[in-house]
Amino acid sequence: MSWTAVGVDFGGTKIRAARIAGGRVEDEATRPTPPEDPTMILGAVTDAVAAVHRPGCPIGVAMAGQIDRRSGVVRSSPNIPGRNIPLGPSLEDAFGVLVILDNDVRLAAAGEWSALGETPSLLVALYVGTGIGAGVLLNGHPLSGSHNLATEAGHATFIPGGELCSCGRLGCFEAYAGGRALAQRARRLLAQRGLGAAPLDAAAVIRMARHEDPAAAAVWEEAVEALRTLAWNLSVLFDPEVVVLGGGVVRGAPELLEEIRSHVEEQAWSGYPPPGIVLGHPDAAVLGAARTAWLEYHGG
Ligand SMILES: [Zn+2]
């Protein structure tokens, strides 16, 4: 069925708005995310949407943080300073259409489902970037939980009493395999060896591990183990048809896909097919945001 809606991927460094028609990006505009002022940030989102919007098109916005889906208010987000920013109502006023706002991971999972032809009965999407997030869709419907907090997989426990996570708990998967944690752990080990504390990101850690730097290799090996374990835990809990992997760390280390696939296949129930392990779609966030907005607009 042909449909048109605008999807927005609201990131920490850029805001990408795309007009999606029949499941494909038809037009897109990108604006840098202004660093501080919420008014300027609202202006930048409005500007990006205006560049691609057509009269009557519903709008979906995907962003990290605590989002009140019903009111369209951003309770808190790493990408907007302050609290309770009325992003949804502000876009509704500007464009006079339905606007939905939701967690970026959940909307991206909806985009993966859409990109796979809307057929998987149960889909798990696992994103490993700065942090770790997951989305679960049952026949295309996201599992959101009682407080919109379901499947916060990065904060499930990998090692009880282990590393301190950004959420304040100990031993979360994210504290071992999230991009930020990877960089911090490698830096700490290098400093212990008296090798200074030069700025380091996850991509640099992966590169150093490939060149057999012992500190980076130890940190990376544990991250891979955490991700294999997490992918299997999600598989055994949800019995998915497909597990989609995405995010900066996965894109930076495509060999992860095979590592995870072989582990999940090894662990899978005998006599049943293991879930397919596939790489995420690059447009998943804008696609899922647009598709969800369109379905809501048409009462789907
Ligand atoms: Zn945590």
Distance 206 CA to ligand 1 centre (A): 22
Per the structure, the count of domains in the chain is 2
Token pair 């859409």 in the structure block, residue: 114
121 lies in the same domain as 91: no
Name the helix (H) or strand (E) containing 54. none
Distance, in Å, from the CA atom of 129 to the CA atom of 248, rounded to the nearest integer, reads: 5
Query: What's the half-sphere exposure (Cβ side, CA atoms, 13 Å) at 149?
Result: 5
DSSP letter for 153, please: G
Reported confidence tier of residue 197, pLDDT bands at 50, 70, 90:
low
179 CA → ligand 1 middle, Å: 13
The residue from 71, 88, 103 where one domain ends is 103
For 190-230, give the DSSP string.
HHHTT-------HHHHHHHHHTT-HHHHHHHHHHHHHHHHH
- pLDDT band for position 36 (cuts 50, 70, 90): confident
Question: Does residue 249 sit in the same domain as residue 129?
Answer: yes
Residue 221 lies in a domain: yes
> Angle at the Cα of 275 (from 218 to 251), degrees rounded to 5?
45
pTM of this prediction?
0.91
What CATH number should be reported for the domain holding residue 73?
A: 3.30.420.40
Domain extent for 236 = 110-279
- The CA 133 to ligand 1 mean position distance, Å, reads 11
In a domain, 12, yes or no: yes
pLDDT bin (cut points 50, 70, 90) of residue 171 is very high
**Side-chain-facing half-sphere of 112: CA atoms under 13 Å:** 33
Q: Are residues 148 and 86 in the same domain?
A: no
Residue 297 Cα to ligand 1 midpoint, Å, equals: 35
Q: Are residues 89 and 198 in the same domain?
A: no
